[in-house]
Structure 1
Amino acid sequence: MHPRRVALLALASTAAALQAPRQPTTAQQRQPTTTRRVATLEPPTTKKPLRLKLTSPEPTNDFVKPDGTLDVIPFSAQAEYELKPRQRVIGLAYISTLCTIVASSRIPAFFRLLGLQYAAFSAFEYCFHRWCMHSTYGTWRDKIFSRWNRLHVQHHLDTNPDMTMVEGYNWKGIRFNYLTSRLSVVIGSSVSYLLVKALRLDLPFWPTPIVSWLLAMYHGVLWNKLHTDSHDLQETLTWFDGVKYVRNIPTGNRYARWLLTNHIGHHAIDGKGNYNIVFPGPDHLAGTFYQLKT
């Protein structure tokens, strides 16, 4: 081939190579080339799943004292409550958990009895408070339980909007006495025994009175502490007044504040809900739980 033709072909191939798009090298391929796409990309618009809050709102720090306890008077004056029917999910979880504990043969008998009696005490606390202590005047329940109904109605009348008590209030509406605690042990043991027999559970009877006594004492002591605190009462109880008012029971924690908030709500809504005071659960299940507004 003629040298001039070879030179022309070489020039033509060089020009074609210069006009062709340049292929990126391997290193260049690793560099991000999506600047425009990222700049114009909109955030995803997927819907967030509906979630039920399993914890109640906490009182703001304005109403919590330095020791962690609830400042009852200013809190009660401003607190608002709302009915939360969706909290029945918590009630279903509550009863399912207790049923699982009681029915499981892998759990020690003491804890199974504890779960069974907690359910019994909790249900009794709810039913007696709702249908006996708040029974309509003149009904058969009012006639049978008139002593407790009148006393409890008077307790609501003696309570000011800020949860303080009027002068000359009846102290029997505030705290339990020894008779109530003894009756709790007898009733708790009897109900648990009947449930064990009715459900044919393989549980011994001998721990039943022990568990009943523990729960009755826990309920009585915690009730006397929390109920006096919720009404901002500072007097010290004697043994003759009932289960002694133990001042060193820790109430500067979230659980104690929740119980106090729950009972303050019972007064704020005029006794239409929040019937459980110490053993929560049935209020959520029955749809009578009023939660603190956020």
Structure 2
Amino acid sequence: MNAAAISSTGLVPLKMQTTRRTVAARRSVTTCALPQVVMSGAEAVAAVGAMYGLMSVNEYITHRYYQHDEISKFDFTKKIRKENPDLVAILDGGGHVEHHAETLDDMSLRQDEKWKKTAMYERLNDEKNQWRGTAFNWDITGLMCAQMAPQVYPVYMGIFGWGFVPTTAFFAAGMLLHALVWNALHPQMHGLPDITLKDGAPSSTLSFLRGGWYFNYLYDNHKGHHVSGGRTNYNVACPLVDHLVGTYETKADWTARLAMKEAVAAAGKKEEVELASA
């Protein structure tokens, strides 16, 4: 046998030894790369979770303290407004209070003549906005972007160490997804038409989710918000904060509340009939 074909051990052919070294090297590379892959996956999960959390917090604060003006209940707010009535006005919620007044417990909208004569109806009866304050128009999406930007960039560029471009791309994708979920859910549950690309993130993009468990949960969650008179379930597209701060109301609880309201209303009508026939 040719000595050149024998390894230094004198027993294993050189070709076989080379093959074993190649396999070992590949295993070493794969093993060394594995932690990096795992870290990348963990980072992706953390990044998605952080964005969802930020959206949930902003959605909750905006809905509860601006749209429902619950910030007025704090003593410091009352004091500031009392001392500076012209500087700190009462927040009107952008028509959200009117939206609650117009919405019945079955999520349909009032159409009676008495309601149509009110100032609340007139405010919502804007021909330029056929969604009556229920949709995320492009301008509303822009406002939410501006609201969240001071939080998003420090988190992703400071904590995650991302650059400006990937942070912006991820932020934009998250905001678009939020608007798509909102617009596929909210206008339709109040019997209003889908929003189109011209005016906002199109409802049709995620309309296929309607009737599925995910949208059914969001629907029930938001219906509970209306049934409670706007005192629970402030999150709409990103449920989370309600569960953390104690303002979440289960379907069983708000269903019982609704049954009680209906029973009281029925008893009142019965009493009216009895008085009228007496």
Q: Which TM-score band applies after superposition, normalised by the shorter structure?
A: 0.5 to 0.7
SS of residue matched to 2:250: strand
Per the TM alignment, residue 137 of structure 1 is displaced from its structure 2 partner at its CA by: 8.9
Q: Deviation at 1:136? A: 4.5
- Following superposition, the deviation at residue 110 of structure 1 comes to 4.4
Label 1:108 to 1:188 Cα distance change in 2 as closer, same or farther (>3 A): farther
- Partner residue in 2 for 1:131: 65
The CA deviation string for residues 169-198 of structure 1, in whole angstroms up to 9 with x for no partner, is 523421111012223334434312123466
Partner Cα distance (1:112, 1:193) in 2: 15
Q: Which runs of 5+ in 1 are unaligned?
A: 1-103
Between Structure 1 and Structure 2, whose CA radius of gyration is higher? Answer: 1
Q: Once the 2 structures are TM-superposed, how far is the Cα of residue 109 of structure 1 from its aligned partner? A: 4.5
Q: Taking structure 1 as reference, are residues 124 and 136 closer, same or farther at Cα in structure 2, changes over 3 Å only?
A: closer
1:244 counterpart residue number: 202
Aligned to 2:151: 191
TM-score (norm 2): 0.59
Distance in 2, Cα, partners of 1:190 & 1:110: 21
| Counterpart contact for 2:60–2:234, Cα < 8 Å | yes
Where 1:293 maps in the other structure, the secondary structure is helix
Q: Distance in 2 between matches of 1:281 and 1:191?
A: 18
Deviations along 1:93-142, whole A, 9 cap, x unmatched? xxxxxxxxxxx945365443322211111110011111111114967599
The runs of 5 or more residues in structure 2 that have no matched partner are 1-37, 82-87, 125-130, 254-278
Check if 1:288 corresponds to 2:222. no
1:236 and 1:201, CA in 2 relative to 1: closer, same or farther beyond 3 A?
A: closer
Q: Is the 8 A contact 2:108 2:190 kept in 1?
A: yes
Indicate conservation of the 8 Å contact 2:145/2:175, yes or no.
Answer: yes
| Distance in 1 between residues matched to 2:39 and 2:89, nearest whole Å | 40
Going from structure 1 to structure 2, the CA distance change for 1:230 and 1:194 (only over 3 Å counts) comes to: same
Tell me the CA shift for residue 293 of structure 1.
1.0
- Of structures 1 and 2, the one scoring higher in RCO (CA 8 A, sep 6+) is 1
1:87-106 alignment, distance < 5 Å: 105-106=39-40
Match of 1:42 in 2: none
- The question of whether the paired residues in 1 share the 8 Å contact of 2:184 and 2:194 is answered with no
Residue identity opposite 1:239 in structure 2: L
Is it true that 1:213 corresponds to 2:172 in the alignment? yes
Give the corresponding residue for 2:7. none
Measure how far apart 1:223 and its partner are: 0.8
Q: Which whole-Å CA distance do the structure 2 matches of 1:238 and 1:278 have between them?
A: 19
Cα distance in 2 for partners of 1:122, 1:111 equals: 16
The one-letter amino acid paired with 1:237 is I
Between the aligned partners of 1:132 and 1:221, the Cα distance in structure 2 is 22
Choose from 206, 222, 227 the match for 1:263: 222
2:100 corresponds to: 156
Q: Distance in 2 between matches of 1:286 and 1:119?
A: 14
1:176 and 2:136 are equivalent in the alignment: yes
CA shift, 1:246, in A, is: 0.9
1:152–1:173 CA contact under 8 A, matched in 2: yes
Contact 1:237 1:245 in 2 (8 A): yes
Q: Distance in 1 between matches of 2:232 and 2:56?
A: 15
Q: Does the alignment pair 1:121 with 2:55?
A: yes
Per the alignment, do residues 185 and 209 of structure 1 end up closer, same or farther by CA in structure 2, a change over 3 Å counting?
farther
Q: How much does 1:211 deviate?
A: 1.5
Contact 1:230 1:263 in 2 (8 A): no
Using the TM superposition, give the Cα deviation of residue 202 of structure 1 relative to its aligned residue in structure 2, in angstroms: 3.5
The 1-side partners of 2:42 and 2:149 are apart by 18
